[in-house]
């Protein structure tokens, strides 16, 4: 059997794998992934602040309604009190107390409103900052994406060429050998190991004499008992 051809095939196959791996490790690609993550976070943050602002607006409108209601009450109250001369001093005192309560309630309402309005303003500023940050990242992303698309298109051509080189050699191999190679490669890379000083150079285990003898005479692919790699003795 022709292990030399399988070995040569492996060099080309692994070269294509290495390049494919390099493509995945591309700095631009990593940057784009990071930026996508960042944009997602900004989006989530924006939505969170948005919902907070929504709640604040709801409360603001409730307090405004309450302030209007209290003001109307106060207005009605002052109209009723137009003719104060007819009241007893006790009634006047009671009415003053009521007026005072109403005014305090109105004041409290306005205080709450002012706090809420300030918070809403702060939240809107934060939202604006998020929007600016996201826009900046998005424009950076777009610029890098443009460059990356070119890089990726070129790399794809190169990878295809490397695969073709390997396939051309692979086509000439025995189908069963190639199948065995692929099976081993699923759990061991590189899938073929040379023998050196009776050792498997994949895992450095010394092979039993029996295996060595078999390797020289056998017509089938032999694998290392320890790591499962296909054994190749060049001489």
User: Where does this chain bind Zn ion (CB under 5 A)?
Assistant: 200, 202-203, 224, 226-227
Q: Which residues pair with 206 in a beta bridge?
A: 199
The least distance separating Zn ion from the CB of residue 204, rounded to whole angstroms, comes to 7
Query: Any idea what DSSP says for residue 231?
Result: E
Nearer to Zn ion by C-beta: 40 or 187? 187
Smallest separation, CB 222 to Zn ion (Å): 11
Q: Which is nearer to Zn ion, 164 or 198 (CB)?
A: 198
Between 49 and 188, name the residue whose CB sits nearer to Zn ion.
188
Residue 232 C-beta: closest distance to Zn ion, Å: 11
| Cα distance between residue 14 and residue 163, in whole Å | 10
The residue (of 23 and 205) whose beta carbon lies closer to Zn ion is 205
The SS3 of residue 82 is: coil
DSSP reduced 3-state for 228: coil
| C-beta closer to Zn ion: residue 6 or 224 | 224
Shorter beta-carbon distance to Zn ion: residue 170 or 202 = 202
| 170/190 with CB nearer Zn ion | 190
The Cα 35–Cα 28 span in angstroms is 10
Answer whether 53's CB lies under 8 Å from 120's CB.
yes
Pairing of strands 230-232, 192-196: parallel
- Backbone phi and psi for residue 26, each to the nearest 5 degrees, phi listed first: -55, 135
Distances (CA, A) of 164 to 107, 139, 186, 210, 222: 81, 37, 21, 39, 27
Listing DSSP states for 164-226 in one string gives HHHHHHHHTS-HHHHHHHHHHHHH-SSSEEEEETTEETTT-PBPPHHHHHHHHH-SS--B-TT
């Amino acid at each position: 059997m022709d292990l030399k051809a399988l070995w040569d095939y492996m060099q080309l196959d692994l070269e294509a794998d290495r390049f494919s791996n390099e493509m995945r490790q591309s700095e631009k690609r990593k940057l784009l992934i990071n930026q996508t993550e960042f944009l997602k976070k900004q989006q989530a943050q924006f939505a969170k602040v948005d919902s907070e602002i929504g709640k604040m607006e709801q409360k603001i409108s409730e307090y405004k309604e309450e302030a209007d209601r209290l003001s109307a009450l106060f207005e009605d109250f002052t109209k009723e009190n137009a003719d104060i001369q007819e009241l007893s001093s006790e009634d006047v005192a009671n009415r003053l107390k009521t007026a005072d309560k109403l005014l305090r309630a109105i004041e409290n309402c306005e205080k709450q409103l002012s706090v809420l309005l300030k918070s809403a303003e702060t939240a809107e500023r934060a939202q604006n900052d998020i929007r600016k940050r996201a826009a900046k990242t998005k424009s950076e992303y777009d610029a890098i994406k443009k460059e990356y698309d070119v890089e990726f298109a070129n790399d794809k051509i190169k990878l295809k060429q490397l695969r073709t080189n390997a396939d051309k050699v692979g086509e000439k191999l025995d189908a069963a050998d190639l199948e065995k190679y692929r099976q081993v490669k699923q759990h061991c890379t590189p899938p073929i190991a040379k023998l050196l000083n009776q050792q498997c150079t994949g895992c450095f285990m010394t092979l039993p004499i029996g295996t060595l003898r078999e390797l020289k005479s056998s017509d089938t692919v032999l694998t290392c008992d320890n790591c499962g790699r296909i054994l190749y003795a060049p001489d």
